[in-house]
Structure 1
Amino acid sequence: MTTSPEQEDSKLVEMAWDPITRIVGSLGIYAKVDFAERRVAECYSTSSIFRGYSIFMKGKDPRDAHFITSRICGICGDNHATCSVYNQNMAYDVRPPHLGEWIINLGEAAEFMFDHNLYQENLVGVDYCEKMVRETNPGVLSQAERTPAPHAGEHGYKTIADIMRSLNPLEGEFYREALQVSRSTREMFCLMEGRHVHPSTLYPGGVGTVATVQVFTDYLTRLMRYVEFMKRVVPMHDDLFDFFYDALPGYQEVGRRRVLLGCWGAFNDPDHCDFRYQNMADWGRKMFVSPGIIVDGQLVTGNLVDINLGIRILLGSSYYDDWVGQEKFVTHDPLGNPVDERHPWNQHTIPHPQKRDFTDKYSWVMSPRWFDGKDLLALDTGGGPLARLWSTALSGQVDIGYIRATGHSVMINLPKTMTLPEKTFEWKIPMWNGEPLSNALERNRARTYFQAYAAACALYFVEQALAEVRQGNTQTWAPFTVPEEAVSVGFTEAVRGVLSHHMVIRNGKIANYHPYPPTPWNASVRDMHGTPGPYEDAVQNTPIFEENPPETFKGIDIMRAVRSFDPCLPCGVHMYLGKGNELRTLHNPHAFTTL
């Protein structure tokens, strides 16, 4: 890597963190850091792996779709299976029994609790632990030692530094406790869906789970322990994240971008959801997580039909050839609305491997955008929870006792548990100086609150499921037939955000199938109009607060910005740094290897 004389004068240094992942090691962040101005000047997000599911799904029996697409991911495979089942329900015009839907909701709620807990406490939490702060901001750690935790009486940690120490990998008290919690939440999932993370009991038309009072009681006992856990976790994280705002003035700009959020909704209400496209706008609004698109803090639409029709898949800087002029699978949706050529129903995947070039093509990730009638918006998911809570709050539709959306916030009521009294938390739409705020800390904060939200929803779902069983309504599956022709879509939320599966059936086989999980939205690259993707946008102009010089720079503020979206995290991160015409590889034996 080289720098120009102008870059030398401004101390503009090219750096790379590659990979930044949890699963396949394919996410890389390439940035130019201006050490004179203490900010990131430029950022590119890359992916080095091609999956090709949209290609080999063609010609398959549509009944196999959820088993195949579950293998897209080893972390959120059940979210793909669920979305594919929703998609098939629409294609086959089948409505599962109520109990089957409550079981799916309970399984997905357990997945949210499991994954968000594991990520927040054992992965992203490391970025805020005592060891990391000591190595990147020793002045901040010194202040944390002197700062009492405002909610110490609720979570048990006297100072902010005590919270940070509890997050230290392997040795931290809270870090180890969270690992145990992830075990019990995974057990909850398996009680409902058979196997984690590729469910064995999910099918179109319902589930194969044997529904008994005992299985729901086993789920509930674990759920109540989780509820008690969350009564300590929410105030603990509030204390930690609020401290960073106080300790580092201006930290609200780390990972900040314009509020452009998308949520496709989650947890169907079987009283309203019939999976028919013609009724999708109505049953979509009845979800227990409200779908919606948020622009500059305001709800633009909560209509799933509008959301579906507005999706556009752009190419831009990705390694694919355009499909303009290829066969158009769907000209109009089932309601007669015209469908754009760049909609997933009409997408053709034409891979074109080539050398990485940041002035042209540099990633395997395409660039999904949402068209509002005027602009192609680079929506992000806020890591999942930020968009979900924001959309639910503004929609004001959810009111189930444990959860109430107020129109400007979400009230979460957790009942009395073994050692702790009833507790109510309120997630409020984040603002800064009168402006809506989407940044690294608020994405992380929302993840904590959504764990409590998912637990509260699960309390309601298990009550409904038990009521069905006690009334003798134990059927969990409804029969169906596969049509010769169909156009369908499934909408839900994966852990990290929006998930949709789009399918076209011809002659009883899959003619076109495109799954769109949160990663293409969040990790998308510069599109054909030059608009950067959310990772790129959030990192560009992020200020640098780390105290280390370029030679020992870890990039912790950059990492916090990227990880706040809940991408796949690292097996290991390799960093290199260039000055002048000399390429050097920097190895710091004292670096904290979890980065």
Structure 2
Amino acid sequence: MATIPETLAHEAQKKRTLVEMNWDPITRIVGSLGIFTKIDFQNREVAECYSTSSIFRGYSVFMKGKDPRDAHFITSRICGICGDNHATCAVYAQNMAFGVRPPALAEWIINLGEAAEYMFDHNIFQDNLVGVDFCEQMVKETNPGVWDKAQSTPSPNADKHGYKTIADIMTALNPFTGTFYRETLAMSRLTREMFCLMEGRHVHPSTLYPGGVGTVATIQLFTDYLVRLMKYVEFMKKVVPLHDDLFDFFYEALPGYEKVGLRRTLLACWGSYNDPDYCDYQYKNMDAWGKKMFVTPGVVVDGKLVTNNLVDINRNIRILLGSSYYEDWQGKETFVKKDPLGNPIDQNHPWNQTTTPRPQKRDFNGNYTWVMSPRWYDERTGDHLALDTGGGPIARLWSTALSGLVDINYVKATGHSVKINLPKTALLPEVEFEWKIPQWSNTIERDRARTYFQAYAAATALHFVEKALAELHAGRTATWSEFKVPDDAIGCGFHEAVRGVLSHHVVIRDGKIANYHPYPPTPWNANPRDIYGTPGPYEDAVQNTPLFEENGPDKFKGIDIMRTVRSFDPCLPCGVHMYVGDGRTIEVQHSPMFGAAGNK
């Protein structure tokens, strides 16, 4: 017999009115991401959320049988945004499989290229795509009360960035007309040039290979990079305080806004920027050289560091089918039973995955997306954790801060924060920024971390330029090491794509690729409910999020939902693939969201 509280709860649930509202595709990103929700307007919250993607490409299928030396060229085409991240990670996996260690100068060049990519992509996404969600036009349309308050709220850091009020910042973010919006576009050109200096072209590097790079290293090369870098460093001295003012204002103007996009702190970082003094690409030493990365790998659960051991991170990755359109591979071939250290490798590990697509009708009570459900197995609890990357920067900074291992001229991890020192530039003095571990893993803090990581990337790039020049001055100018492709081998590469964790897993047999699986950040973030019913991070962050938008159902734009999804920096090509079948157009709809024409 039901108790009185149970009966009342049931009655309350029965009377709850839910309105279905969908955004498909989400604008200002690459790919076919759909967010399907049920909204409780009476209580101003999202009741249910489903993250979907409707395309399948199958890189893991057609990589089989290919020459392993081509892996980086092929996999860079997974994405037209962060293809160089894939190429770099593939090269890391190739280096391990081939048993080759590149010269130090080559590693510094790769690090400089990746630092430029972080600066470029975070810059353009934060201020030309995410920034639109916080601009004057958007705030006026969704929260006129907030706009009114912004007009009378002074900017605490106006002396640093030049905008007197919060409303001035919002106006400066207006697409194509805003002064700050246009300034960031110009800066993105500089950072793309920086990348091309190091790796030939963006976004598919032409001088990056297993064993090193083909870049001709000269004093002029690094000077040209440094000239552009110092302009970016000066720009960051304005950008960080500007975004702090904007994001802090939202907490002040909308009490409770910290709950928007809030989810349990389950963060993943696979590490970035190898140190050639320590990294030999041998699996047996991976824990040691992983901890020497200039972005420290780590799994953060409930705000605490569970591990920063890359071997543990690797062997506990599990790929679950969840609510996705694939056939199970249990009982099929096991490619790797044990890793090189003798640790057992699960059948659901990427080394053992077999991808067999099974197209079907979307069913939110069953299967509804092409994205699988990557999970990390927590040996302490036996849980399969739905880790997220938070868009990349919040996980990177959080893991690096807790580990406390990075300590170079320009950046230092303290155990509870990351200090970033930017030197004197043409117009501005030396500045120190400190990213402190926040109270929440939510929408605002994901966006704030992206700004701080731009400064972090610039600071680490200064270190890499100095190290590269030191190699040149010492006469160590080699940028490539010879190797032979083994008949049989396995390899894995761990890196941070712009949006977060990236790993490539390769199995070589008879000199050819027998199995290959890349796992970028989007599958970790955009995945559906898994076999245990656990929602994916987008779903979890949107579900139960409160709605502060002032519009009712008839004019609802879903700005709090859009800010939450875009705070993860979605980029669907990495997460899904393409399937072409028979179909027909049922209905054409135009998104009510501002910026529908501006895809990333």
SS in 1 for 2:554: helix
One of 42, 60, 63 as aligned partner of 2:48: 42
| 1:578 match | none
1:145-165 deviation line (CA, Å, top 9, x unaligned): 000000000000000000000
Q: Distance in 2 between matches of 1:525 and 1:50?
A: 15
One of 408, 413, 416 as aligned partner of 2:421: 413
Instruction: Please report how far the alpha carbon of residue 20 of structure 1 lies from its aligned counterpart in structure 2 after TM superposition.
Output: 1.5
Residues 1:57 and 2:57 aligned together:
no
One of 564, 567, 571 as aligned partner of 2:567: 564
Q: Distance in 2 between matches of 1:530 and 1:591?
A: 33
Taking a change above 3 Å as real, the CA distance of residues 60 and 589 of structure 1, as seen in their structure-2 partners, is: closer
Q: Mark the runs of 5 or more structure 1 residues left unpaired by the alignment.
A: 432-436, 571-582
Residues 1:528 and 2:528 aligned together:
no
| 2:393 match | 385
Instruction: Please report how far the alpha carbon of residue 190 of structure 1 lies from its aligned counterpart in structure 2 after TM superposition.
Output: 0.1
| 2:270 match | 264
| 2:453 match | 450
Instruction: Please report how far the alpha carbon of residue 13 of structure 1 lies from its aligned counterpart in structure 2 after TM superposition.
Output: 0.5
Residues 1:345 and 2:348 aligned together:
no
One of 510, 514, 517 as aligned partner of 1:514: 517
One of 349, 362, 366 as aligned partner of 2:368: 362
| 2:435 match | 427
Alignment of 1:7-156 (within 5 A): 10-20=16-26, 22=28, 24-156=30-162
1:387-421 deviation line (CA, Å, top 9, x unaligned): 00000000000000100000000000000000000
- Tell me, yes or no, if the aligned pair for 1:10 and 1:35 is still in contact at 8 Å: no
1:514-558 deviation line (CA, Å, top 9, x unaligned): 000000000011001110000000000000000011011000000
Taking a change above 3 Å as real, the CA distance of residues 159 and 23 of structure 1, as seen in their structure-2 partners, is: closer
1:541-578 deviation line (CA, Å, top 9, x unaligned): 000000011011000000001000000399xxxxxxxx
One of 316, 319, 324 as aligned partner of 1:318: 324
Q: Letter of the 1:375 partner, please give it.
A: D
Q: Distance in 2 between matches of 1:587 and 1:53?
A: 31
Instruction: Please report how far the alpha carbon of residue 439 of structure 1 lies from its aligned counterpart in structure 2 after TM superposition.
Output: 0.2
- Tell me, yes or no, if the aligned pair for 1:20 and 1:568 is still in contact at 8 Å: no
Instruction: Please report how far the alpha carbon of residue 441 of structure 1 lies from its aligned counterpart in structure 2 after TM superposition.
Output: 0.2
| 1:476 match | 479
Q: Distance in 2 between matches of 1:315 and 1:591?
A: 34
- Tell me, yes or no, if the aligned pair for 1:256 and 1:440 is still in contact at 8 Å: yes
- Tell me, yes or no, if the aligned pair for 1:21 and 1:567 is still in contact at 8 Å: no
SS in 2 for 1:123: helix
SS in 1 for 2:441: coil
- Tell me, yes or no, if the aligned pair for 1:552 and 1:588 is still in contact at 8 Å: no
Taking a change above 3 Å as real, the CA distance of residues 591 and 197 of structure 1, as seen in their structure-2 partners, is: closer
Taking a change above 3 Å as real, the CA distance of residues 32 and 585 of structure 1, as seen in their structure-2 partners, is: farther
- Tell me, yes or no, if the aligned pair for 1:255 and 1:561 is still in contact at 8 Å: yes
Q: Distance in 2 between matches of 1:591 and 1:260?
A: 31
TM-score (norm 1): 0.94
- Tell me, yes or no, if the aligned pair for 2:123 and 2:184 is still in contact at 8 Å: yes
SS in 2 for 1:551: coil
Residues 1:494 and 2:497 aligned together:
yes
SS in 2 for 1:109: helix
1:472-523 deviation line (CA, Å, top 9, x unaligned): 1111000000000001100000000000000000000000000000000000
- Tell me, yes or no, if the aligned pair for 2:156 and 2:245 is still in contact at 8 Å: yes
SS in 1 for 2:147: helix
SS in 1 for 2:66: coil
Taking a change above 3 Å as real, the CA distance of residues 499 and 588 of structure 1, as seen in their structure-2 partners, is: closer
Q: Distance in 2 between matches of 1:534 and 1:592?
A: 24
Q: Letter of the 1:72 partner, please give it.
A: I
Taking a change above 3 Å as real, the CA distance of residues 482 and 162 of structure 1, as seen in their structure-2 partners, is: same
1:305-356 deviation line (CA, Å, top 9, x unaligned): 0000010000010000100000100000000110001000000001000000
TM-score (norm 2): 0.94
Taking a change above 3 Å as real, the CA distance of residues 543 and 396 of structure 1, as seen in their structure-2 partners, is: same
- Tell me, yes or no, if the aligned pair for 1:23 and 1:74 is still in contact at 8 Å: no
Q: Distance in 2 between matches of 1:36 and 1:260?
A: 30
SS in 1 for 2:496: strand
- Tell me, yes or no, if the aligned pair for 1:21 and 1:569 is still in contact at 8 Å: no
Instruction: Please report how far the alpha carbon of residue 26 of structure 1 lies from its aligned counterpart in structure 2 after TM superposition.
Output: 1.0
CA RMSD of aligned residues (A): 1.7
Q: Distance in 2 between matches of 1:9 and 1:310?
A: 44
Moved over 2 A (4+): 5-11, 21-25, 583-595
Q: Mark the runs of 5 or more structure 2 residues left unpaired by the alignment.
A: 1-10, 574-585
Q: Letter of the 2:514 partner, please give it.
A: A
1:199-229 deviation line (CA, Å, top 9, x unaligned): 0000000000000000000000000000000
